[in-house]
Amino acid sequence: MPSAHDPAAQQRHRLVDVPGGRIHLVEQGEGPLVLLVHGFPESWYSWRRQLPALAAAGYRAVALDVRGYGRSCKPAAVDAYRMLALVSDNAAVVRALGAESAVVIGHDWGSPIAANSALLRPDLFSAVGLLSVPYSPRGGPRPTSVFGAVGGEDEFYVSYFQQPGRAEAEIEPDVRGWLAGFYAGLSADTMAPAGEASLFFVPPGRALRDRFDGATLPAWLSEAELDGYAQEFERTGLTGALNRYRNVDRDWEDLAAWDGMAIAQPSLFLGGALDASTGWMAAAIDAHATTLPGLRGSHLLDGCGHWVQQERPDEVNALLIDWLDGLPRG
């Protein structure tokens, strides 16, 4: 049992109704609502170091389990994980919490979920923070065609994740070991040296885990924290999480009306300088002056990998709070 002085003691777990199910969330603090959206393969817990910091700064911080994860609903249909459904979930969470609006912040897959929430529902989302994955408006050819052409003889990981059951068969027999390898492979202190085989490309007839290098955990992740992540996925399986990747073409079709559109609200981008995402998407970061005209800060953290808010929590918290404090309050 945590003591009254433990920040975790002030956290409140809730289930709220959304169209087609319920969303689990954890909230801490009072003040303007800040909605935190995690990525793959994580949960609300990836924001464990942001919740108390944002609460102490005067915000109502809410970290949710995206549908398919943790204690949130897990619809059976693949198309239930399309971007429009996830935006609808975020909107329903804001309303269920009794708020008129919220700032939305996302990491990894949570970043495009946050970006599209701001794009499609500017009436509800007054500002948007993007971590690790920059904003890239809908456009270009069908995504699976693009991903299928990446990597030469090797298979790009997004393509590898497309077939239902395939990645699950790799991951689920040893969830803890797979998560450890995936987290380590994208962390600054445990990732493979530049020039070695990329974690994101699967050789013919092999598995993604064959790219994992050793069993050392990154400094930001304790054995107990890894256990927490693993226990959730051992209970739920990985299908709900992987179904996000299986909707990239459907999203491209659904969002045709927003092709090339900028996000006008105040925005922030934070990424790791050693993260492959910020390297691949450098052009998208450079385009933020046009695609995010309300951008109020863009930061690449030296020596940081993909899991920015967990690898560098103090620095990320300071940047988030400085940005939040500068936003207009309605």
Given the residues 24, 38, 288, 306, select the one marked as catalytic. 306
Q: Is 108 in the active site? A: yes
The reported pTM is: 0.96
pLDDT mean over 160-188: 96
- Whole-number pLDDT of residue 163: 95
pLDDT in tens, 8-62: 569 999 999 999 899 999 999 999 999 999 999 999 999 999 999 999 999 999 9
- The ranges assigned to domains in the chain are 7-325
pLDDT mean over 209-217: 85
- Whole-number pLDDT of residue 329: 79
The pLDDT of residue 3 is above 50: no
Given the residues 38, 89, 107, 108, select the one marked as catalytic. 108
Superfamily of domain 7-325 in CATH is Alpha/Beta hydrolase fold, catalytic domain (3.40.50.1820)
The pLDDT of residue 249 is above 60: yes
One-letter-per-residue 3-state SS of the chain? CCCCCCHHHHCEEEEEEECCEEEEEEEECCCCEEEEECCCCCCHHHHCCCHHHHHHCCCEEEEECCCCCCCCCCCCCHHHHCHHHHHHHHHHHHHHCCCCCEEEEEECCHHHHHHHHHHHCCCCEEEEEEECCCCCCCCCCCHHHHHHCCCCCCEEHHHHCCCCCHHHHHHHHHHHHHHHHHHHHCCCCCCCCCCCCCCCEECCCCCHHHHCCCCCCCCCCCHHHHHHHHHHHHHHCCHHHHCCHHHHHHHHHHCHHHCCCCCCCCEEEEEECCCHHHHHCHHHHHCHHHHCCCEEEEEEECCCCCCHHHHCHHHHHHHHHHHHHCCCCC
Summary mean pLDDT of the chain? 94
pLDDT in tens, 276-287: 999 999 999 999
- Whole-number pLDDT of residue 141: 94
pLDDT mean over 292-316: 98
pLDDT band at 151 (very low <50, low <70, confident <90, very high): confident
